[in-house]
Chains A and B, each alone.
With several copies, the nearest count.
Chain A
Amino acid sequence: MAINNIYSAALMEHNAHPDYKYQMDNPDYQHEGVNPSCGDDIVLSMDVEDGVIKEIAFTGSGCAVSQSSTDIMSDLLTDKTVDEAYDLCSLFLKMIRGEVTDDKVLAKLGEAAQLKDISHMPARVKCAELGWRTCMTIIDDQIRGKKTA
């Protein structure tokens, strides 16, 4: 794969103008995810109403891959139910690890499916995953309350 495929115009656009990168006021849920291989972080915030993600936004710093991947995710997950969001995150992680490759299945991910080729760049997998993992942690620990259960 040519690396420039990854750094596509679309990705660059999300990186340069991330619609969802801002500090939410009093979010219902918030969590900081850290990429241990570089130390970068994403602070993800979320408002949920009746099981539906009403608003999602992030702050933090990281590479273009993590920033745009998180921005794309935020766009995808807005107005999805928590359960749908969780399944989409799982699917994304499977795609990034090369476990799901069928484009028909991946179509559900919308624009995020364009990040598929990152599965061939082991050093950047953690970047692409960062936002999605953080989202799953919020759902697991805070919304579904597995940790407090």
Chain B
Amino acid sequence: MTTEFVTPTTGASNTSTRDMLSKVIDIEGNPYKRDFPLLANNPQISFLDSAATAQRPKSVLDAQRDFYERLNSNPLRGLYKLSVEATAAVDEVREKVAKFINADSPDDIVFTRNATESLNLMAKSLGGSILKPGDEVVITIMEHHSNLIPWQQVCRQTGAKLVYMYPDKEGFLSDEEIETKIGPKAKIVSVAQVSNVLGVENPVKKIGERAHQQGAYFIVDGAQSAPHMHVDVKDIGCDAFAFSGHKMFSPMGIGVLWARKNILEKMPPMLTGGEMIESVTEDDAVWAELPHKFEAGTQDAAGIVGLGAAVDYINSIGMDRMEAREHALVKYLAEQLSQLDFVRIFGPKDPAQHTAVVAFNVCGIHPHDVASILDASDVCIRAGHHCAMPLMTWMGVHSTCRASVAMYNDKKDIDQLISGLKKVWAVFNGDK
């Protein structure tokens, strides 16, 4: 991600590379589905809900199981071989994850349960210790609840004010909005790199520059970006980056928080207990070094090893190739949807501006009915508020349908959705 912004108003980076690559991608062919047992065993299923949670390749399931069958033991402090190897396995993944997002040091990678916990840690631990009455925390109206409620809570506790940036109708944040909302009172700016509803990529570099100019910390919720694009925390210029393993092919139960060392160092731990201390007396405790300070209690070492295998899997395919394929898929998805005159798409009009996600509604039909009827055609999509209620309110809807792709999808999956939607329409309105 060294390319500069091509279209500053959209914030999408390396758009042109992606477009170029996506033209040579064959979305009819699918060399990946066979790597994913659930998809391979259920060829009838069109799984278009990867934005909620991805499927996991065999290599990840094998790695997790192998841990239990070969190394299983409590990683920290053990002196016997199993435990030493388990510790080494966890350390190795920390290095892999650091490289994956181009972080300087594995010590600044904290394993959490999910992006939600990572963001709570930032809100409670950083927010809770620096915010004062009159300060501002700036987010966007398109945040997932996990990057919204924690800030609501900490603002309430500290007397800081929560300020929302609003995009235009297509979901793009304007320079003006960024400059107006991130002012001198801003102490923390926290923004999703990719919206889990609109599918837009936010101009995080620009937001980060503005935040830093104003002396604010800049946090990026990467739950929907890390699975789909090269993430380079240095290039983004953020101070913290949060994401979930389960959305990028790893087992459930593992999330990541990266933050700059000096920030992590001054943040108090959120959870305390075993494994996160250097010493404890009856009255006092001294915290362990990074990253252990933030990892209280026995960690999910097998899940961490699974996350490492997920990173390996992505690297073995190549993020460029994955991104290009997903870009081709989501473009096809958005294009096909927009040809149905009874479907209304949310977010960017340009299909190429959607990252992996397209939210839509079928005119006059409740999204839950759409999803239920699609299920009868073995099409899996999500319907609801997508943990983004304030965005729904701002969009003037109660809920939407959402289809999302990963690189294991293909043209057939999308065609199955489209013909399923025609059936939905027919059920409600008679055949055309």
Contacts and interface: CB of A to CB of B under 8 A. Distances in A.
B384 A38 contact: yes
B88 interface: yes
A122 B399 CA distance: 20
B373 A124 contact: no
- Listed from nearest, the 4 A-B pairs whose CB atoms lie closest are A3-B376, A63-B366, A63-B368, A64-B369
5 contacts: A2-B376, A64-B366, A65-B369, A123-B84, A127-B368
Contact of A3 (B88, B279, B375, B398): B375
B431 to A, nearest CB: 12
B368 A39 contact: no
Contact of B427 (A12, A61, A121, A127): A12
A122 B368 CA distance: 13
Interface string A55-85: 0000001111100000000000000000000
Contact of A36 (B79, B83, B278, B398): B278
B6 interface: no
B289 A36 contact: yes
A7 interface: yes
Given A12-B427, A12-B428, A62 B375 contact: no
A4 B279 contact: no
Most chain-A Cβ atoms within 10 A of its Cβ — which of B77, B79, B279, B288? B79
B303 to A, nearest CB: 22
A62 B373 contact: no
Nearest to B365: A64
Interface in B362-392: 365-366, 368-369, 372-373, 375-376, 384-385
Interface in A92-126: 121-124
Interface string A18-57: 0000000000000000001111100000000000000000
B373 A40 contact: no
Contacts of A123: 78-79, 83-84, 87, 368, 372
B373 A36 contact: no
Nearest to A15: B428
Contact of B368 (A3, A15, A124): A124
B291 to A, nearest CB: 14
Contacts of B376: 2-4
Contact of B398 (A12, A39, A124, A127): A39
B373 A3 contact: yes
Contacts of A36: 278, 288-289
Contacts of B288: 36
A45 B135 CA distance: 47
Most chain-A Cβ atoms within 10 A of its Cβ — which of B87, B278, B372, B398? B372
Nearest to A124: B372
Contacts of A40: 366, 398
A38 B368 contact: yes
Contacts of A2: 376
A64 B288 CA distance: 25
Contacts of B368: 38, 63, 65, 123-124, 127
A65 B88 CA distance: 21
Contacts of B398: 39-40, 61
Given A39-B399, A124-B372, 6 more contacts: A3-B373, A4-B427, A7-B372, A37-B77, A122-B87, A123-B368
A37 to B, nearest CB: 7
B399 A38 contact: yes
Contacts of B373: 3-4, 7
Nearest to A6: B372
B179 to A, nearest CB: 35
Interface string A117-149: 000011110010000000000000000000000
B84 A122 contact: yes
A122 B88 contact: yes
Contacts of A39: 278-279, 385, 398-399
A15 B84 CA distance: 25
B363 to A, nearest CB: 13
Nearest to B424: A7
Interface string B267-292: 00000000000110000000011000
A4 B83 CA distance: 19
Most chain-B Cβ atoms within 10 A of its Cβ — which of A2, A64, A127? A64
A90 B177 CA distance: 54
